[in-house]
């Protein structure tokens, strides 16, 4: 066992040293962007995200400002909600919210023949305190957010759009990038709830 690093902090430190070494002299638009990309790679062990991750101008700062003002973070899965550092968020007065398991969301989705993810975004839009959205699983949630934003029904401080999959994932992210809203996306099919959570955490850790 002595041949292995066993202290959690030392493991993380060594992991980020390896990531930095393998990334080499890659240029990022500031230290904050570098930290987000490195945390995604740390979560996934996938260096493709260095090329896939796109962060709009001012998106990180907008997310931080909203969190400092007590913004709630909305996710599209309970897995993402569980992965976000709740204690750090609560220091600023914010909560993690996921409406996917709500009975009214399920009933409305069944009645309309659409996904619960879409309805959960509609529900989230009714509360102005829900200002940061972290979408890691459902492209339909991201499409629904885009429609709400385009209609002027929602003006989020930050949208983290990283749904994973083969149907609609790449397209939903491309649609988000065209909107005048601060955003962080991973282009293409790759993404996931763990990535959505780790991006929120990266922002919280920088605060």
Residues belonging to the active site: 42
206 close to 67: Cβ distance less than 8 angstroms:
no
H-type alpha helices, the chain: 8-23, 31-44, 49-52, 59-68, 78-83, 86-90, 103-112, 116-125, 139-151, 169-177, 193-206
H/E run at residue 184: strand 183-186
Q: Which SS3 state, helix, strand or coil, does residue 164 take?
A: coil
To the nearest 10°, report the CA torsion of 10, 16, 18, 21: -140
73 close to 48: Cβ distance less than 8 angstroms:
no
Q: How far apart are CA 180 and CA 142, in angstroms?
A: 14
């Amino acid at each position: 066992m002595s041949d292995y690093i066993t202290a959690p902090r030392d493991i993380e430190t060594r992991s980020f040293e390896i990531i930095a070494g393998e990334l080499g002299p890659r240029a990022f638009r500031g230290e904050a962007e570098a930290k987000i990309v490195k945390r995604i790679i740390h979560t996934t062990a996938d260096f493709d995200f260095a090329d896939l991750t796109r962060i709009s101008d001012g998106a990180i700062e907008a997310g931080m400002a909203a969190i400092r003002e007590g913004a709630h973070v909305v996710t599209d899965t309970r897995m993402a909600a569980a992965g976000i550092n709740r204690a750090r968020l609560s220091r600023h007065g914010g909560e993690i919210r996921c409406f996917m398991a709500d009975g009214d969301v399920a009933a409305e989705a069944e009645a309309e023949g659409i996904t619960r993810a879409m309805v959960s975004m509609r529900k989230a839009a009714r509360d102005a305190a829900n200002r940061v959205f972290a979408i890691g699983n459902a492209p339909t949630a991201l499409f629904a957010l885009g429609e709400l934003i385009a209609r002027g029904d929602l003006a989020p401080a930050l949208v983290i759009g990283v749904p994973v999959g083969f149907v609609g994932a790449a397209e939903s992210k491309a649609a988000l990038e065209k909107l005048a809203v601060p955003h962080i996306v991973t282009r293409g099919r790759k993404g996931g709830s763990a990535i959505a959570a780790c991006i929120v955490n990266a922002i919280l850790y920088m605060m």
